[in-house]
Amino acid sequence: MKRNSSSKYKFKLKDAKKPDAKKLAKVAGRPLASFNVLYAYAMFTLHWTGLKYFAVFIINVLHKFFLVQYLEKFRIIRIPIKHVDHRLDSAVPYRPELAPCYLDFVNYWIRPMCLTMKRYGSFEGIKLSAEFVRYMIQTYKEAFKVYSHCLTTTVRPKPTTKAAKGIQFWDPHYLCVPSLHIAIVALTIGFYRMLFEREQFSEREREQWNRELYVHGIEIAESVLYMKQHSVNCIPAALYMITKTAPELFDRETAVCFIRNLFAHASDVRSEDKAQITAHIESLYVQLLKESETESDWTVPVKRWLASYEPHTSS
Q: What is the pLDDT of residue 6?
A: 41
The yes-or-no verdict on residue 5 having pLDDT over 70 is no
Other C-beta atoms closer than 10 Å to the C-beta of 97 total 13
- Exposure of 147 in the CB half-sphere (CA atoms within 13 A): 27
Amino acid in position 129:
S
The pLDDT of residue 8 is: 82
CB 110, CB 40: distance < 8 Å: yes
Average pLDDT of the chain, as a whole number: 95
Q: Mean pLDDT across the stretch 28-48?
A: 94
Measured distance CA(174)–CA(116) in Å, rounded? 34
Inter-residue contact 176 to 155 (CB < 8 Å): no
The span from the CA of 218 to the CA of 281, in Å, is 14
179: exposed, middle or buried (Cβ count in 10 Å: 0-12, 13-18, 19+): buried
Q: Side-chain half-sphere of 196: how many Cα atoms within 13 Å?
A: 20
User: How high is the pLDDT of residue 47?
Assistant: 87
Residue 305: partners with Cβ closer than 8 Å, 6 or more residues away: 237, 284, 287, 288
**pLDDT of 14 higher than 90:** no
Instruction: Please write the tens of the pLDDT for every residue from 178-202.
Output: 999 999 999 999 999 999 999 999 9
Average pLDDT over residues 218-225: 98
Res 81 pLDDT > 80: yes
Could you give the CA distance from residue 281 to residue 260 in angstroms, rounded to a whole number? 9
Mean pLDDT of the region 279-286: 98
Model pLDDT, residue 313:
82
pLDDT recorded at residue 2: 43
* Helix segments in the chain, DSSP class H: 21-27, 37-46, 48-61, 68-73, 99-103, 105-120, 122-147, 162-170, 180-198, 203-226, 234-245, 252-260, 271-291, 299-308
pTM: 0.95
Mean pLDDT over 245-269 rounds to 98
- Alpha carbons within 13 A on the beta-carbon side of 232: 25
**Mean per-residue pLDDT for 268-278?**
98
Percentage of the chain beyond pLDDT 90 is 93
Report d(CA 246, CA 23) in Å as an integer: 31
Nearest one of 191, 179, 254 to 222, comparing CA atoms? 179
**Contact indicator for 246, 10 with CB cutoff of 8 Å:** no
What number of other Cβ atoms are within 10 A of residue 89's Cβ? Answer: 21
Q: Model confidence over 97-143: pLDDT tens digits?
A: 999 999 999 999 999 999 999 999 998 999 999 999 999 999 999 99
List CB contacts of 240: < 8 A, sequence separation 6 or more. 178, 255, 285, 288, 289, 292, 298, 301, 302
What percentage of residues in the chain have a pLDDT greater than 70? 97
What is d(CA 251, CA 264) in angstroms, rounded to the nearest whole number? 21
Tell me the per-residue pLDDT of 86-110, one tens digit each, with 9 for 90 and over: 999 999 999 999 999 999 999 999 9
The closest alpha carbon to 176, from 302, 45, 28, belongs to: 302
Question: How do strand 151-153 and strand 81-83 relate by DSSP bridges?
Answer: parallel
Q: What is the pLDDT of residue 7?
A: 59
CA dist 197 to 14, 193, 203, 206, 228, Å? 17, 6, 9, 8, 36
